[in-house]
């Protein structure tokens, strides 16, 4: 079972309940500002149910984005400690999005949502419709086995060749992003690593 690591920006979002997260492998870190001294009783009680897997992180110091920088630091640290985990930043602050996009290019499963309910729902389930382009790329890569592209440049060329004139460069990049999001590939320093 995949571990879910949830980092809550409590200055920005004050969840009323964390109950939807129970029932799976989950770690929760609630980041509170230096001057935040009160947590709603319902939230505190719900977090108690997670025992040592839930903790409060009260930051020291204040300033613009001080709490956000703490979350970014912990996110990086936890990603090295828990490879393969799924990370969720609960915040309305869109400033996290470029960092999260970068983490995805490194093969780290991470998303920002505005509520715990969104985490509990998980990603939308695709309808069983016709295969998508990304499905075609995955099938092609599986057929290649040991001859799969090993560099990002070669992967781009492979995807482009698969669809020919039907695909634009921007769409090639989107397909590679989808491969990363699905966990099919991990890209590090221009090198492509396959998870299966």
pLDDT of 106: 85
pLDDT of 7: 92
pLDDT of 48: 81
pLDDT of 127: 41
**Residue pair 106/83 in contact by the 8 Å Cβ criterion:** no
**Residue pair 58/32 in contact by the 8 Å Cβ criterion:** yes
**Residue pair 53/27 in contact by the 8 Å Cβ criterion:** yes
Q: At 159, list the tokens.
A: 């995807």
**Residues 28, 90: Cα–Cα separation, whole Å:** 10
Q: What is the pLDDT along the chain (196 residues), one digit of tens a residue?
A: 678 899 999 888 877 666 556 555 788 899 998 888 788 787 788 788 788 888 899 888 777 888 999 999 999 999 988 888 899 999 998 889 999 998 888 888 999 988 877 775 554 444 444 457 888 888 888 888 888 999 999 999 988 888 887 788 888 888 888 888 888 888 888 899 887 6
pLDDT of 131: 59
pLDDT of 125: 42
Domains and their CATH numbers in the chain: 4-121 (3.40.50.1010), 133-194 (1.10.10)
Q: At 95, list the tokens.
A: 């400033």
pLDDT of 120: 58
Which sign does the torsion angle of CA 137, 139, 144, 148 carry? positive
Q: Is the pTM of this model over 0.75?
A: no
């Amino acid at each position: 079972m995949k571990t879910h690591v949830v980092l809550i920006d409590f200055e920005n979002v004050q969840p009323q309940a964390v109950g939807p997260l129970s029932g799976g492998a989950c770690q929760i870190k609630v980041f509170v500002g230096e001057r935040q001294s009160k947590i709603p009783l319902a939230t505190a009680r719900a977090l108690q149910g997670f025992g040592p897997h839930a903790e409060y992180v009260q930051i020291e110091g204040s300033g613009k984005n001080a709490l956000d920088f703490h979350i970014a630091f912990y996110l990086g640290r936890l990603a090295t400690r828990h490879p393969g985990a799924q990370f969720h930043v609960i915040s309305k602050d869109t400033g996290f999005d470029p960092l999260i996009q970068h983490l995805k290019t490194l093969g780290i499963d991470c998303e920002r949502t505005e509520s715990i309910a969104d985490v509990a729902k998980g990603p939308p389930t695709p309808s069983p419709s016709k295969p998508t382009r990304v499905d075609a790329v995955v099938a092609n890569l599986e057929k290649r086995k040991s001859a799969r592209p090993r560099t990002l440049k070669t992967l781009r060329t492979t995807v482009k060749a698969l669809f020919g004139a039907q695909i634009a460069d921007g769409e090639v990049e989107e397909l590679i992003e989808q491969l990363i999001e699905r966990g099919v590939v991990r890209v590090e320093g221009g090198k492509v690593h396959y998870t299966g």
